[in-house]
Structure 1
Amino acid sequence: MIQPTRRQTLGLVGAALLWPTAGRAEAVHTFHGSAFGTSWRITGPAGSGFERLRPAIERAFSEVDRQMSPWRKDSEISRFNTAPAGSSRVGRDTARVIAAALALAAESGGAFDPTVGPLVAQWGFGPITGGAPNWRGVSIGEEAVAKDDSGLTLDLCGIAKGWALDRAIAIARAADQACLIMDLGGELAVLGSHPSGRPWRVAVEHPTADAPPTAVLELPSGRAVATSSLKAQSYGVGDTISGHIIDPARRRPASGQLRSVTVTADDATTADGWATALFAAGAEAGPALARARGVSALFLIGDDPVPRQVRTGDIAKLLL
């Protein structure tokens, strides 16, 4: 299965978003399951019959795992990682996700790097071994991916969970489900509004354990949200806190005053990838990059009881 890595832990151990209080109201119903080493759940109007989505969603999640998990030796990604230099066949979905990852690497100036897997393993967070990262050495076609060095590998964990959530939302839309919120390991996407008529609401968790939420977001229909945070899989050495997200520029875990980044976008794939990229970029370069690329993000910086907030894009319009 796709195991929790420096990106996969978004929300898994408290690094992202609290479930909305409204999800416990009598007007809604929730069902849940497990995938990718974490849990998922869907909440929507009671009596709408959306529980019928379960088989299709579970099949979609299993397919993503078979395609993109670096922890499975039989996955398409693992076969590419162990292949020699040259071209390897992959399915169309895997090709689309690789293309999205490489596009994000270019747009972020390498802050998001899908070839960073060997560094992740070096710091104890992943299974991929290989040579030095170099996303520019990978190219993608419609159903094939090529590398110019046999040591190059791909790790899609920073974007594959978002893709899986988008697959689930597409299944819901195709079934004419117009009102629900779905949580996949702390990444969320919504359709329609809460049955009460107001937007779905989620709380942005405080970087410090047991502290109250720092903000509440109202999500319009079709919006997705993801968070990357030091609260998941971090450790301290002296005054320095290092986390599970690798900074490709320094080739070591991201560290500094940035504690979390929450990103909203029109799809979960984009939110997932940009949350990782902006966290890797850091407390100063991250907000600058978000502004330059028009990314809607909420940065929480510092260890004060109330962390300093930096807002970019239209995130301020979503905050209560």
Structure 2
Amino acid sequence: MSHSPLARRVCLILISLAVCNTAMADSRPLTSLEGKTMGTFYSVKISGDLPEDKAHLQQEIDALLEQANNDISTYREDSILSRFNRYQGNDPQPIPGGMADIILVAQRIGRATDNAMDITVGPLVNLWGFGPQKQPVTIPTQAQIDDARQRVGLQHLTLTSNSKGEWLQKDLPSLYVDLSTLGEGYGADQLAQLMTRKGITNYLVSVGGAISSRGVNGQGMPWRVAIQKPTDKENTVQAAVDLQGYSISTSGSYRNYFEQDGKRYSHVIDPSTGHPINHTLVSATVIAKTALEADGWDTGLMVLGTEKALKVAEQHGLAVYLITKTDSGFATVMTPQFKAFLQQEAKP
């Protein structure tokens, strides 16, 4: 369920949402800023005049994302999250408000997906060789899986908040919290909030496969993004949507994996079994009000598989687009909420 930095780079290039602009005669200045963060890439596109110097804005963006990394990265030993994971006691530990926001969303989506989205699944992700520990690619024994599962579970994590701040508490000393599956969405939201604070009303920002938008592009048209078809061809578009000021995120199971004895093992781990998923859902895209929401839901739905994911999406009124592998290619299904954003769709 967690993504390594390499997985996030692959997601950006191959799975994710590529920017599509419709050309029109009437155009306006378009500023693009790019960089690296969270083991992946970020992109900021601003339509219209900038309120300040471009170089200064780039510095603010980098500083903002650097702070997010210092808070939630499991690849930095001195991050607040890494220190919490090393802590072996059960006293509440102070955490930043942004980190508390991520955990609150994770807990809510975890409950809604019957814990398919579980930010404590790190021991299993590491065991299968997809986490920061990067263990050799070997198939864990059932005893190893059972042992790791004893250290997994959202019920062991408590978030409390009052006028003085936010605290995180665990009742298992070895509980390991991994927020990387939500980090891209959180980063995209942070960029969107920065744009709003600066009075920028036309932008498209992305971190990895999570995108947030507002207003129109350089041609005065709604920002349009493309969902990649899950194939080896990098620029094959499956569907295109106009975001209309919303956010979008895609999770896929078909790029980050290893093979052994002719069997493919996905990086998406099902907490209920301790094994990589083995169903046919290969891509889940969610459109939501925030990138954090979209990023959380797409992971949980990806774990559930097509049938259960669609049921959960319908129960919660989600805008969801699912791509399933079939014997003859791919099949797609979407909720009515997603169809409202859809502009074009290729044959599966």
Aligned to 1:213: 237
Please tell me whether residue 319 in structure 1 is matched to residue 342 in structure 2.
Answer: yes
Deviation at 1:270, TM superposition (A): 0.3
Please tell me whether residue 15 in structure 1 is matched to residue 15 in structure 2.
Answer: yes
Q: How far apart, in 2, do the equivalents of 1:154 and 1:300 lie?
A: 29
Choose the corresponding residue for 2:96, options 87, 91, 100.
91
Deviation at 1:241, TM superposition (A): 4.1
Choose the corresponding residue for 1:48, options 50, 66, 86.
50
| Change in 2 beyond 3 A, CA 1:246/1:3 | closer
Which ranges in structure 2 are unaligned for 5 or more consecutive residues?
136-147, 344-348
Please tell me whether residue 64 in structure 1 is matched to residue 68 in structure 2.
Answer: yes
What's the % identity of the aligned pairs? 25
- 2:169 alignment partner AA: A
Give TM-score, length-normalised by structure 2.
0.84
User: 1:275 aligns to what SS in structure 2?
Assistant: helix
Q: How far apart, in 1, do the equivalents of 2:126 and 2:290 lie?
A: 28
Aligned to 2:266: 243
Deviation at 1:297, TM superposition (A): 0.7
Aligned to 2:4: 4
Q: How many residues matched?
A: 318
Q: Quick check: 2:285–2:320 contact (8 Å CA) kept in 1? A: yes
Query: Deviation digits for residues 261-283 of structure 1, max 9, x if unmatched?
Result: 11110000000010100001112
Q: Quick check: 1:4–1:36 contact (8 Å CA) kept in 2? A: no
| Change in 2 beyond 3 A, CA 1:201/1:67 | same
Which ranges in structure 1 are unaligned for 5 or more consecutive residues?
none
Please tell me whether residue 282 in structure 1 is matched to residue 338 in structure 2.
Answer: no
Aligned to 1:127: 132
User: 2:211 aligns to what SS in structure 1?
Assistant: strand
User: 1:261 aligns to what SS in structure 2?
Assistant: strand
Mapping for residues 156-235 of structure 1, pairs under 5 Å: 156-210=179-233, 212-221=236-245, 223-235=246-258
Q: Quick check: 2:23–2:219 contact (8 Å CA) kept in 1? A: no
Give TM-score, length-normalised by structure 1.
0.91
| Change in 2 beyond 3 A, CA 1:18/1:88 | same
Q: Quick check: 1:10–1:186 contact (8 Å CA) kept in 2? A: no
Choose the corresponding residue for 2:112, options 107, 111, 118.
107
- 1:254 alignment partner AA: I
Deviation at 1:257, TM superposition (A): 1.1
Deviation at 1:249, TM superposition (A): 1.5
Please tell me whether residue 137 in structure 1 is matched to residue 137 in structure 2.
Answer: no
CA RMSD of aligned residues (A): 2.6
Q: Quick check: 2:212–2:247 contact (8 Å CA) kept in 1? A: yes
